[in-house]
Amino acid sequence: MIDLSTLTIKKAHDEMKSGKYSAVMLASAYLKEIENKNKEINAYLEVYNDVIEQAKEADKRFENGTDTILTGIPFAIKDNILIKGRIASSASKILENYHATYDATVIKKLKDAGVVFMGRTNMDEFAMGGSTENSAFVITKNPHDISRVAGGSSGGSAAAVAMDSALASLGSDTGGSIRQPASFCGLVGLKSTYGRVSRYGVMSMGSSLDQIGPFSKTVTDTEIIYNTIKGQDINDSTTISEKTYTSKEIKNKPVVGVPRHFLGGDGIKKEVLENFNQSLEKLKKLGYEIMDITLPNIAQSLAVYYVIMPAEVSSNLSRFDSVRFGLHKDGKDGIDDYFVTRGAGFGKEARRRILLGTYVLSSGYYDAYYNRANAVRRILIEDFVKAFEKVDIIVTPTTPDTAFKIGEKTSDPVAMYLEDIFTVTANLTGMPAISIPSGNLNVEGKELPLGLQITARHGEEDLLFRVGKEFLGE
C-alpha cells in the first residue's frame, strides 16, 4: 500500500528506483483515488485512457537506466496547456472538441523527463476567474470542504494534488491563478519570474502577465519541477536566459520586508492577519530580520491589473472567429456567424472581460485607460525595485480570506476581483512569488488552509525556495 498523503517526488523516485513499487503501481494508486473522489470534487475534466501505458514506458526507463527525477511521476495538467493529440478546451464551449496539434514546451520537457500525464484539469474558462466556477462544464470543489471553491483559475490542478489524485500538477498564473488556489488547498504554488518558463503552447490570456508554474505539497518538489520546465525557448521570444538577472549575494539571513500599510484594508479577515503575524514570528525565531517597508502605489495595483488584463484578453480571444478552429455556428451571413459563434461559445465572464478590454482599447479611451495603466505599472515596478534595495524578500498573506463558499461571490464580480489584491503585483512587476502553507483556520468545523506569499527580486527563485524550505522545515 502506497501512502499517497505523505509522498514526495524524491521519495517516489527513490522507491521506484529501488524496485519497492513500479510506475504502474503508482499510477494505479492515483487512478483509484480519481475513481473514488473525482465525481464529487471535479478536479479533472478528462482522465486519460493511456495512463497505464505511459507508466509502463516509465518503468522501461528505470530498467534501462535512462530515468530522471521525474520519471513515472503522475502529473495533472491544466486544460489550457497543449498536449499533442489530446483535447485542450480551456474549459470553454468554444474549444470543447479542439485537439492540440503540438506539445507546449513545458509538456515536451516533462515528456522528455518521463512523467505520467493523468489527465486535464478543470479551470475558469480561458483562465478568467478566481474560483473555477466559470468553467463551462463543472465547478471544482475544495477537497478540504466540498461546500467551498478550490480557487482559480487553476482550481482543478490544485484540487487534483490536494485530493491525492496526482503527485504534482501544472497551472497558469496571470494574477494569482496558481498561488491563490495553492493557498486555498494547502499546497505550494509558484509564479516564476516573467520569461523564465516558456508560454509556447499555452493558450494566452494576458500575454504580458501569464506564467506557467507547478503545484506540489513541498517546496522541494516545486523546485524540482521548476528546474525541469524553466529555460529560454526559441518558440517564445519573451523567454529569458539565466544570465538576464544576477542574484544578490546574501551572506546572512535574508531581510524580510512587510508592507504593513497595505494590510489594514476592510476586506482582510482578522484571523488571516493573526496567522500572518504568527508567520512573521516564526521567521524571527528562524533568525530573519523583519523590516516594515512602504510601497507607495501598491493600492493602485488591482485597478491597473483590471485594465491591462482585459485589454490583453480582448486581443488574444479575437482569434476565436468561428473560421480557423473551434466552435462554428451559422448566422445570417459571415459577420453574423462571428457574433453567433462567440455569443454561444464564450461564457459570461469571458464576454465581460472581452467587452471591458475592447472598451479600454477603443478610440478616445486608449490613452485615458490603457496607456495610463501601463504608466502606473512602470511606477509599481520602480516601487518594488526600490524596496528591494533595503530588503531581500517581501511577504504578505496570499489571500485576504480562506476559501469562500461556492456561489458566494458569483453575483458580485468586484468582490471576486478583490480576491487578487495580494497576488496581482507579482504579475504586474514580473517578479517571482511563491505561496506556501502557513497554517489552518477552523471555519464551521472544517480546517481550512491559509497561505504565506513570498516575493523576491527578478530571477531569485532560488531565494524563494531557500526561505520556503526553512519556513516549512524541509
Residue 349 is part of a domain; what is its CATH number?
A: 3.90.1300.10
pLDDT of 312 reads: 97
Q: Which residues, 6+ apart, have CB-to-CB distance to 222 below 8 Å?
A: 188, 189, 190, 214, 215, 216, 434, 465, 468
Beta partners for residue 312, in sequence order: none
For residues 257-280, average pLDDT: 93
Q: Which residues, 6+ apart, have CB-to-CB distance to 82 below 8 Å?
A: 88, 100, 101, 102, 103, 104, 107, 201, 202, 203
Whole-angstrom distance, CA of residue 454 vs CA of residue 391: 12
pLDDT classification of 338: cutoffs 50, 70, 90: confident
What is the domain count for the chain?
A: 1
User: pLDDT over 70 for what percent of the chain?
Assistant: 100
Q: Is the pLDDT of residue 211 over 90?
A: yes
pLDDT of 298 reads: 96
Among the listed ranges 72-81, 99-108, 265-274, which one has the minimum average pLDDT value?
265-274
pLDDT classification of 327: cutoffs 50, 70, 90: confident
pLDDT of 330 reads: 82
pLDDT of 247 reads: 78
Mean pLDDT of the chain: 95
Q: Which residues are catalytic?
A: 78, 153, 177
Q: Is the pLDDT of residue 251 over 80?
A: no
Going by their DSSP bridges, the two strands 116-121 and 74-78 should be labelled as: parallel
Provide the grid cell at 187: 499546497
Domain extent at residue 163: 1-474
For residues 44-51, average pLDDT: 98
More confident of the two residues 293 and 342: 293
pLDDT classification of 246: cutoffs 50, 70, 90: confident
Contact status, residue 154 vs residue 78, Cβ threshold 8 Å: yes
For residues 218-229, average pLDDT: 98
Contact status, residue 9 vs residue 15, Cβ threshold 8 Å: no
